[in-house]
Chains A and B, each alone.
Chain A
Amino acid sequence: MTAQSIPALLAGACTDIRLAGKADAVGGCQPSYHACPASTQEASAVLRVAAELGLAVLPRGAGTRLHWGAPPSRCDLVVDTRRMDAVLEHAAGDLVVRVQAGVSLRKLADVVGAAGQRLALDPPGSGGAGPGGAGPGGAGPGGTGTIGGLIATGVAGPLRLRYGAPRDLLIGITVVRADGAVAHSGGKVVKNVAGYDLGKLFAGSYGTLGLITEAAFRLHPKPQAVAFVTTDCPDVAAAQAVMAAAADSPLAPSAAELDWPRREAPIRAGILLEGDPAGVAERAERLRALLTGAAAGPVATGPVATGTVATGTVPVSAVGAGPVAVSTVAPSWWGRGAAAAADGTVLRLAFWAGELAAVLDAIARAAAGGGLDPAVSGSAAAGVLHVSLPPSTAAAAVAEFLTALRTALTRSPVLAAAGGAAAAGTAAAGRLSTGPPAGASATVLHAPAAVLDAVDVWGPVSALSLMQAVKDRFDPEHRLAPARFVGGI
């Protein structure tokens, strides 16, 4: 089944190419060749030859999340970006960095960190937040993941609440298309609306549209100080109240996370405040007071300057949260938990943040039905949670759980009411008539092979035919990471 020699055309296109071994297999798919181009130009030559030879191509970086998504249906050539590991430009005064795709998150963090800056992305497992070497590039193992992989999987951690996902900080991208052509969009300025923003399209595209070879990001100043305000919540209602209190407060939290390791454990909540030392300390005390309900009066949330009427926030003590702690050190579970589970099945749930309690309930009910006890963690105030099940869980049980969860995930009542009108009107609208969006989703990030065989990895997707049309234009022969993405793309 494996190739015996490297075609001359391919060998001529790349100085670092070898026959692939068993270790290069991805999702049970055994490639024949493994190429390590060192530049966009070399990558272009490789993809041009791959197109000529009709080879199925699988882009990869450090392999941190190579097991994510559905397994590829074909894979002849792995294109590894790790030799493209140069930080091309760090314009510190402009708070911009431009890197090759194979640069690790840790290396990028080290380079920009020396100037007191950071890329405000902290994917699960990359290390905690904090002023000293924390955030991506901290001690966590995830900091070895490449920038290309980070963009391709669209992964984000606790800082999602304030800074968003890779798509929100990406300001320019260079890609190599399936036919080998090189394309840029955006640039290296933070404000730019010239042409279509291909970076958005490639962020979270799982290698199915092209090979990402360079990227430019907007950076932020590293906070001088951080505070983690933590409390335990006895039930889902308390968890929602804590998250809402933090997000609705005027205290500008950078992250608001939950960690619920097992059903019988309390739900741990943590809120990250960042800024200058005095400001952070003061805000942490205000948040502590807010969460314990010890504040003497209602908390003003309107702007002082414009005199907008203040809206009170319900003290969390009213719903029974536990004692509140403030620390400059991240709790042990921060950025880990279910989101960072290395094996077993990990699901990502996205929902409207106001539905948090209902979503936590749905998880608990779906799990109880199958006798499962999943771990749950994530950026609850930003409407993203991860659910993990251990590798020992039977594939059929995972599938049943996922189905029950997807059925139980309720859309925001507000969205349901608004979407209802659209649904009624789309009856005769043709192939895209998918009605209003669900407003919530559960996708499988990674799972054992038996589970992947038993489940719909991506679940229902709106506007799928438009996505397929985009794929058909970018990769008409479907040679790039085939079958890995939504709808078999």
Chain B
Amino acid sequence: MIETAATAPPGTSPAATSPAATGPADAGPAGAAAGLAALIPRIAAISGPGSVITDPLQLRTYECDGLTAHRCSPGLVVLPESAQQVAAIVRACAQAKVPFVARGSGTGLSGGALPRGDGVLIVLTRMRNIIAIDPASRRAIVEPGVTNLAVSKAAAPFGLFYAPDPSSQVICSVGGNVAENSGGAHCLKHGFTVHHVTGLEIVTPQGELTWLGDGTGAAPGYDLLGVFTGSEGTLGIVTKIIVKLMRIPESVTTLLAAFTTMGAGGTAVSAIISSGILPAAIEMMDALAIEAAEAAVACRYPEGAAAVLIVELDGPQADVVRETAAVRAICEQAGAYEIRAAHDAAERTAIWTGRKSAFAAVGRISPAYIVQDGVVPRTALPQVLEAITELSAASGVRVANVFHAGDGNLHPLVLFDDAVPGASEAAEKVSGAILDLCIEHGGSITGEHGVGVDKSKYLPRMFSPDDLDTMQLVRCAFDPAGLCNPGKIFPTPRLCGEVPGIRRAPHPLVASGQLEQF
């Protein structure tokens, strides 16, 4: 994704308007715009006039999500307040053959909630009830607009928390987390959204309400819940979510280790993983990222560090004490010249501040930047980091590295000055080359941000036409009309057509007597 450090006024950059949102490959059914006009009064009748936005200036507010490089003003915004309203709105869209896109808090980083100019944007922020907490079964039932952190806050009195913790957790919505299968720093140990969702009430692209999963995590039938989670809003709209809650760990310790080379930090990561210890999080930053964080939030990381490693351990107290000592020893052996340990919330915050501010902080040292989200096998980290350094040196494009080292999820920040002609293109080129590196090493183009509109062109580098075609069989089963968040994930949407009929006539070989019929 491309991030402009100084937020430009909305819509001032016509060049940045996404071709994916308006291009001919993705223009949607003919007459959608006309259909949309007729749809406005119907949708206003469903959700009430106060829930519909048609004013062009106000529509602009919704023209992008967290990925600001792609912008498109929605044809209509509606803010429903109940699952029934969402279902009725989607039914109306389906009947009028008007495309629709769901949006939560709009913090997505791949343009998954990029609206359609000829479509309806269904914003779920008014559906923010925590419906129930069941401490005995360790479950919560929430509406999609509830923020990620609000779930943990509501569960805390019971000694429970909701484990997935994307760095935007203060504002991002659980519905959006489901759409993107969000991770977070602690998913190394605790897993992603898909490991913590056990039931979803959805509105199908035809406008019907149904449940996927029943909260048990072992409902009979296909695991549609598992496929839906991470489908980036292309299979329907979530209206209720049942999540698992976990026991808050008894003890948490955070270590900060400083190294004079990235290689030494990488060695420490490998050694920790192979020691049999599973930390809750292992994060790494390079010198450029540290410099940015220092400039932005004065995180006071050890001076002269070419790399810092943040390792967080959680669990039963005695285990955490022993594991902390072991990790400390590993880091020292790998050449750490300073190690700090945080034992309380304030000390921990001090360590995490630098890491969490890194993306935004890069704005201090560069006018614009692209964030990548590639993944490599953990053991390939040193090679890939070295190759990124070479790429950067050869192209003259600076790259800051901030990443979830424990699971090999890189977030290289490709820095450029968007005022310099050609700089953006050069940065894009480096960014694409980094994704190629990830694929070459057996990795992925996205670990947690999603494909959205941002990476759909890279998807064929990872998957064959048959792979993509097979994935789209799922899409066609849910959304044969292709109206639900069209133009996302897949570079060339499949025309679903009718399901071929079951073979009725005898096979020619049977008819000719070459083959027996059983």
Question: Which residue in chain B gives the minimum CB-CB distance to A441?
Answer: B220
**Contact (Cβ within 8 A) A354 B134:** yes
Across the A-B interface, give the 6 residue pairs with the lowest CB-CB distance, nearest first.
A354-B136, A200-B226, A437-B214, A221-B276, A183-B470, A354-B137
Using A350-B217, A440-B216 as known contacts, say yes or no to A194 and B459 having CB atoms under 8 A apart.
Answer: yes
Q: Does B284 contact A (CB under 8 A)?
A: no
- Stretch from B57-65, B71-79, B246-254 contacting the other chain: B246-254
> Which residues of chain A are within 8 angstroms of B249 by Cβ–Cβ distance?
250, 252, 303
**Contact (Cβ within 8 A) A192 B345:** no
Using A194-B451, A278-B322 as known contacts, say yes or no to A305 and B224 having CB atoms under 8 A apart.
Answer: no
Question: Which residue in chain B gives the minimum CB-CB distance to A165?
Answer: B218
Would you give the 0/1 interface string for B176-210, flagging 1 where the beta carbon is closer than 8 Å to chain A? Answer: 00001101000100011011000101001011111
B145 to chain A, nearest CB (A): 16
**Contact (Cβ within 8 A) A429 B194:** no
Using A91-B377, A305-B252, A469-B477 as known contacts, say yes or no to A425 and B209 having CB atoms under 8 A apart.
Answer: yes
Q: Does A430 contact B (CB under 8 A)?
A: yes
Q: Does B158 contact A (CB under 8 A)?
A: yes
| B residues 476-508 touching A (CB-CB < 8 Å) | 476-478, 489, 499-503, 507
Q: Does B104 contact A (CB under 8 A)?
A: no
Q: Does B24 contact A (CB under 8 A)?
A: no
> Which residues of chain B are within 8 angstroms of A462 by Cβ–Cβ distance?
210-214, 219, 221
Which A residues lie at the B interface, using CB under 8 A? Answer: 1-4, 7, 9, 32, 52-54, 76, 91-96, 116, 154, 164-165, 167-168, 175, 177, 181-185, 187-198, 200-201, 203-205, 209, 220-222, 224, 244, 247-252, 275-276, 278-279, 282-283, 286, 300-311, 348, 350-355, 382-384, 412, 414-415, 417-419, 421-422, 425-426, 429-434, 436-441, 443, 458-459, 461-464, 466-467, 469-470, 472-474, 476-478, 485-487
Question: Which residue in chain A gives the minimum CB-CB distance to B87?
Answer: A429
B205 to chain A, nearest CB (A): 11
Question: Which residue in chain B gives the minimum CB-CB distance to A209?
Answer: B222
**Contact (Cβ within 8 A) B471 A198:** yes
A196 to B469, CA, bound (A): 11
Using A278-B322, A384-B218 as known contacts, say yes or no to A196 and B192 having CB atoms under 8 A apart.
Answer: no
> Which residues of chain A are within 8 angstroms of B248 by Cβ–Cβ distance?
250, 301-303, 306, 308
Our count of residue pairs bridging A and B at CB distance below 8 angstroms stands at: 398
**Contact (Cβ within 8 A) B222 A476:** no
**Contact (Cβ within 8 A) A187 B502:** no
**Contact (Cβ within 8 A) B132 A164:** no
Using A248-B159, A470-B474 as known contacts, say yes or no to A441 and B214 having CB atoms under 8 A apart.
Answer: yes
**Contact (Cβ within 8 A) A185 B471:** yes
> Which residues of chain B are within 8 angstroms of A209 by Cβ–Cβ distance?
222
**Contact (Cβ within 8 A) B509 A185:** no
- Stretch from B6-14, B393-401, B460-468 contacting the other chain: B460-468
A92, A304, A464: which has the most chain B beta carbons within 10 Å? A304
Using A437-B199, A467-B222, A472-B499 as known contacts, say yes or no to A414 and B134 having CB atoms under 8 A apart.
Answer: yes
Q: Does B408 contact A (CB under 8 A)?
A: yes
> Which residues of chain B are within 8 angstroms of A205 by Cβ–Cβ distance?
222
Q: Does B215 contact A (CB under 8 A)?
A: yes
**Contact (Cβ within 8 A) A188 B141:** no
Using A189-B376, A473-B477 as known contacts, say yes or no to A200 and B132 having CB atoms under 8 A apart.
Answer: no
**Contact (Cβ within 8 A) B247 A250:** yes
Using A470-B474, A472-B499 as known contacts, say yes or no to A303 and B250 having CB atoms under 8 A apart.
Answer: yes
Given A198-B474, A224-B276, A308-B248: 19 more A-B contacts, CB < 8 Å: A54-B510, A93-B273, A181-B469, A183-B466, A183-B471, A184-B464, A188-B377, A193-B192, A194-B459, A196-B474, A248-B247, A301-B159, A301-B247, A305-B251, A306-B252, A415-B141, A461-B220, A473-B477, A474-B473
